[in-house]
Structure 1
Amino acid sequence: MNKSAIIPILERISANKDGNNLTHSKVRVLAYGILFILDDIIDIASQHREEIEAFLKMLTKFGIPHHARCYLAHEALALVKKDDGTKKFMGSTSPTNF
């Protein structure tokens, strides 16, 4: 499996600033799902894996507001995309309302 499988999921979470499209519960389920298959994704650089895993684990925690989950997903997405040159690392286009 390659990272193109999780990019759309992280993009959906990242775009969910107001929580109208995904509830907290749905975001947690998606993050847990990505965590479950993360080891099967072969084209994520090993130096980013632990940080991506940390962002995903933060997404699964209770009590985090939608805008914070959006930011966490954005940062995980930036790391996932970094290897193929489509996104710069950390803060390239951070959500404006965070």
Structure 2
Amino acid sequence: MRVVKPAVYILASKWNGTLYIGVTGDLAARVSIHRQDLEDGFTKRYGVHMRVHYEHFDTMLDAIAREKQLKKFRRAAKLELIEGSNPQWRDLTSEVQNWRS
């Protein structure tokens, strides 16, 4: 049985491209939905599929609070956050898919 944790994530269309910030209770499942374009919306419309940043939280309330905080950041601060943990802008999808507690 896998244990899921709330998470905030940032997707990008490419290096320094369009960004999307989301929150979910199951990051691996949500990543799969985005990657396969299973839902119409922003990420499908703009080709925002690269997972470039994510953070796990103990509660959904904490994750939602962080999502709201990140959405208020200026673009430069979002880029700085991504590059602080992922300077090469690697797609972290496989890391996320393999993540389990």
Higher helix share: 1
Q: What is the TM-score when the length of structure 2 is the normalising length?
A: 0.29
Q: What is the TM-score when the length of structure 1 is the normalising length?
A: 0.30
Higher strand share: 2
